[in-house]
Structure 1
Amino acid sequence: MRRDDVEDMSDMTAENRHLADPAAVPDQRRRKLIRRGWSALALLLVVAAGVVGWYGYRQRHPQPVPVRLETVIAERADIEQVVNATGNVAMQSYVDVGTKVTGQISDVYVGIGETVKEGKLLVAISPVVQAGRAENNRAQMARLKAELAGQNAQLDFAQLQFQRQTQLKAENATREEAFESSRMGMYSAAAKVDAINAQIQQLDATMKEDEAVQKQTKIVAPISGTVVALSARIGQALSANQDVLMRISDLSKMSVQARVAEEDVTQLHKGMTAYFSTPGYPGKRWAGKLRQIMLLPADDSGRQGKKAFYTVLFDVANPSRELMAGMTADVFFVLSRVERAVTIPASLVVKPDNKGMQKLKILHADGKLETRDVRIGIRNADKAQVISGLAEGEQVLLPASPAAASTTRTGDKAG
């Protein structure tokens, strides 16, 4: 039994003994309350002393705080090193159709966007040349040929006369004047034949030119393709060497004209793979081979201290005619590509040495950190290839991790 209980029982006994004395009861209760107050105060002081002592001990002996290491796992992925540029889609092959005929357009048989085959009739022209001119030329040709026949007969006669006079002269049976006259007659007849032949040739050339003009009044498609521009209108007056009436392009193949900065163009070469995307078809990609690098800077770049840009061309197939001239192209020229390579985030690659070596911290399954040399291959804005020193699935400490800022020896325990 506790001492307080014994005292309480004693008090109760004393109280019973003094029940007859009412004045003694308040004094006993007062003494009891005072004893309990001192006991509570002592207990409070003991608890406070314990708290202060425990806090002081923790200050002198702090507990280690676990360090959480941030890592990334080396994964296998395809990686490309590229040169990025912007450009536009353009027509690869096209023909501007014009005319050499002076006249008036009588019919237009095609419209913009229409697909035509080679040889299809496009435009008909009524020429200014009179229709009777051809008839007149044919009649004149017939007259000249008739004159030529008569003159040839005279030439034959003159030649026979000259031969006879030559024989008679050999026999001294003719006069010199007769011999010379026959020779001059033969030469004159031959000259007239030559003159008529020249007229015939000149007229023949004129007639062929008229025939060519007549053929040019029917303008046909020089290639198979699509009419992408048309300026010809019915009733339009034309003159020789008129400007372009329409443009026909083969849209099954398109070209991309990319502007490449001078520091990047030196890495490109003919035949390398290039691909692009365009805002008109999100998520779709077209690929081709680099065809040509222009040797002169594009536009006014490279002048007065400006950076030079060069136009680089490559062709892409467009069988469904989705691509249109003028579309914006986000172009990538593939410098190198590795499939299924061990990769890490590009942010881990700080500054490899001239052999491509880079120090990385590897976290093992038992929590130990190892500083290891790895060889870095190609890299881009997102990923870097690891050639050696790191296996798929290993955890690499991120630069932002607290342990990455301190130098850790091989085999040190993390945390």
Structure 2
Amino acid sequence: MTIDQPTVTQPAPGGAIRTLRRRAPVIALSLVSVLSAGVVLAQVLQQPKPVHTASVDAARPAAPVKLDTVTVQRGEIQQTVEAAGKLQLYKFVDVSPQIGGQVKDVLVQIGDTVKAGALVVEITPTVQPAKVESNRAQMARLQAELSDQRAQLDFAELQFKRQTQLKAQNATREDAFESSRMGVSSASARVDSINAQIRQVEANLKIDEDSRQHAQVLAPIAGTVVAINAHPGQNVGPGQPAAPLLRIADQTKMTVQARVAEIDVTRLRRGMTATFTTPGYPGQHWTGKLRQVMPIPADGTGEQGKETFYNVLFEVNNPDQQLMSGMSAQVQFIVSQSQDALLLPVRALGAADADGMYAANVIDADRKVSPRKLKIGLRNKQNVQVLSGLSAGEQVLVGKLPAPAPAPVVQPAKAPSA
């Protein structure tokens, strides 16, 4: 049996110290418990309050959906037929020799500008100068014989007139009268013969003169020398199938020959406006009027398995001679056009219904969408002409309406743990 001993407190200072040492572990344990509880409470107070994510997302405004729109505007629209073409000479002359001979000199070069009547080539004719002088001498001799024969004819006529008077007076013989009459006839025949010979010599002299004149080849028109086939020493003749001596062209006007597909050529009419560009002068445009649609297919087209094309011709002024033969051209024939039309890009146009009306969606200032029915006129690859259903300045949606954004999912907030 154990008897608990009472605790004796010593009055001495040392006893007090012993009493405190016995109680120190109990006090320290109690203090640690209190501090631990304080830290836990502080952590609880400092924890963020649970946030209801669904409520915050619902309160935040949704970002606006970006819409692809175009503005209806007024402007010019053209409906065209496009074709590829080449530039050609509009007016040119091939200069050929008119006499036989040898080229003595070529007085021009390719690219030279000449006036009408200018000397361009000299030819030495095959006609010999001695022959020319012989014809002239023969002409002089015949002229002298003609003068003598006319004098004899005048004398014969006087004799015949006298014999006629004497015969009326029965004062001459019959044979004398007949002889005078035959003298007149003979003299007149000799005059006619000499005149015939003179005409023959005149013809020969004219040939000689023409040969002399044709030996100097003159430019028949004013223009530019674009080709030369003659060279000094070359033998030429009027009947030879050789190339012409040279070619002179008037380049102040050019012809455009365009190749148009058969599916489009039926839309073209004489006099309609045609424009074209050429790679040599980017950004520049030339304009002319359609002159002719050739009624037969272009060479090399329309055969088995090949598309048919037709040549279409029109002229364009070329005062500065910028354009040259052989240049390529991208041609547009203006079938129809409108100067002040309501224009809408093709990509903003919907499908056509059974009545030929087209659907479009218009966006107003409050971003509300309203469907419209449009009546369309002219159209090309970029724009269409709106005849009814829209006004200038309205915004038209491109493509389909955007799908509405999904509604936010609201999740219940979790209660804080105890």
Q: Which residues of 2 match residues 72-151 of structure 1 at below 5 A?
A: 72-151=70-149
> Is the alpha carbon distance of 1:152 and 1:343 closer, same or farther for their aligned partners in structure 2, counting shifts above 3 Å?
same
Preserved CA contact (<8 Å) 1:165 1:178: no
Range that drifts further, 184-193 or 311-320: 184-193
Q: Secondary structure at the match of 1:88?
A: strand
Task: Tell me by how many angstroms 1:386 deviates.
Answer: 1.1
Which amino acid counterpart does residue 192 of structure 2 have in structure 1?
Answer: D
The equivalent residue for 2:340 is: 340
The equivalent residue for 2:316 is: 316
> Is the alpha carbon distance of 1:154 and 1:385 closer, same or farther for their aligned partners in structure 2, counting shifts above 3 Å?
same
Preserved CA contact (<8 Å) 1:71 1:396: yes
1:326 and 2:326 aligned: yes
> Is the alpha carbon distance of 1:322 and 1:403 closer, same or farther for their aligned partners in structure 2, counting shifts above 3 Å?
farther
Preserved CA contact (<8 Å) 1:98 1:241: no
The equivalent residue for 1:199 is: 197
Preserved CA contact (<8 Å) 2:72 2:396: yes
The equivalent residue for 1:168 is: 167
Runs of 5+ unmatched residues, structure 2: 1-21, 44-49, 56-60, 405-418
Q: Deviations over 1:231-261 (max 9, x none)?
A: 2222222223453111111111111110011
Which amino acid counterpart does residue 261 of structure 1 have in structure 2?
Answer: A
Task: Tell me by how many angstroms 1:186 deviates.
Answer: 3.8
Provide the rounded CA distance (Å) in 2 between the counterparts of 1:354 and 1:314. Answer: 41
The equivalent residue for 1:254 is: 254
Provide the rounded CA distance (Å) in 2 between the counterparts of 1:140 and 1:255. Answer: 55
Which amino acid counterpart does residue 114 of structure 2 have in structure 1?
Answer: V
Provide the rounded CA distance (Å) in 1 between the counterparts of 2:352 and 2:150. Answer: 97
Preserved CA contact (<8 Å) 2:96 2:238: no
Runs of 5+ unmatched residues, structure 1: 1-18, 41-46, 58-62, 405-415
Q: Deviations over 1:345-394 (max 9, x none)?
A: 12334555797632322122223222222221111101111122211111
Preserved CA contact (<8 Å) 1:169 1:179: no
Provide the rounded CA distance (Å) in 1 between the counterparts of 2:138 and 2:233. Answer: 34
Q: Deviations over 1:107-132 (max 9, x none)?
A: 22111111111121111122221112
Q: Secondary structure at the match of 1:402?
A: coil
Preserved CA contact (<8 Å) 2:276 2:286: yes
Preserved CA contact (<8 Å) 2:87 2:254: yes
Provide the rounded CA distance (Å) in 1 between the counterparts of 2:293 and 2:239. Answer: 34
Q: Secondary structure at the match of 1:201?
A: helix
Provide the rounded CA distance (Å) in 1 between the counterparts of 2:167 and 2:349. Answer: 115
> Is the alpha carbon distance of 1:21 and 1:353 closer, same or farther for their aligned partners in structure 2, counting shifts above 3 Å?
closer
Preserved CA contact (<8 Å) 1:141 1:200: yes
> Is the alpha carbon distance of 1:232 and 1:348 closer, same or farther for their aligned partners in structure 2, counting shifts above 3 Å?
same
Provide the rounded CA distance (Å) in 2 between the counterparts of 1:383 and 1:78. Answer: 10
Preserved CA contact (<8 Å) 1:70 1:400: no
Q: Secondary structure at the match of 2:192?
A: helix
Q: Secondary structure at the match of 1:232?
A: coil
Q: Secondary structure at the match of 2:251?
A: coil
> Which has more helix, going by share of residues?
1
1:395 and 2:395 aligned: yes
> Is the alpha carbon distance of 1:167 and 1:330 closer, same or farther for their aligned partners in structure 2, counting shifts above 3 Å?
farther
Range that drifts further, 261-270 or 156-165: 156-165
**Count of residue correspondences:** 381
The equivalent residue for 1:365 is: 365
Q: Deviations over 1:319-352 (max 9, x none)?
A: 2221111011000111122223211112334555
> Is the alpha carbon distance of 1:235 and 1:102 closer, same or farther for their aligned partners in structure 2, counting shifts above 3 Å?
same
Q: Secondary structure at the match of 2:287?
A: strand
The equivalent residue for 1:213 is: 211
TM-score, normalised by the number of residues in structure 2? 0.77
Task: Tell me by how many angstroms 1:276 deviates.
Answer: 0.7
TM-score, normalised by the number of residues in structure 1? 0.77
Task: Tell me by how many angstroms 1:134 deviates.
Answer: 1.7
Provide the rounded CA distance (Å) in 2 between the counterparts of 1:351 and 1:380. Answer: 16
Preserved CA contact (<8 Å) 2:252 2:317: yes
Q: Which residues of 2 match residues 258-297 of structure 1 at below 5 A?
A: 258-297=258-297
Provide the rounded CA distance (Å) in 2 between the counterparts of 1:180 and 1:378. Answer: 102
Q: Which residues of 2 match residues 295-314 of structure 1 at below 5 A?
A: 295-304=295-304, 306-314=306-314
Provide the rounded CA distance (Å) in 2 between the counterparts of 1:363 and 1:209. Answer: 90
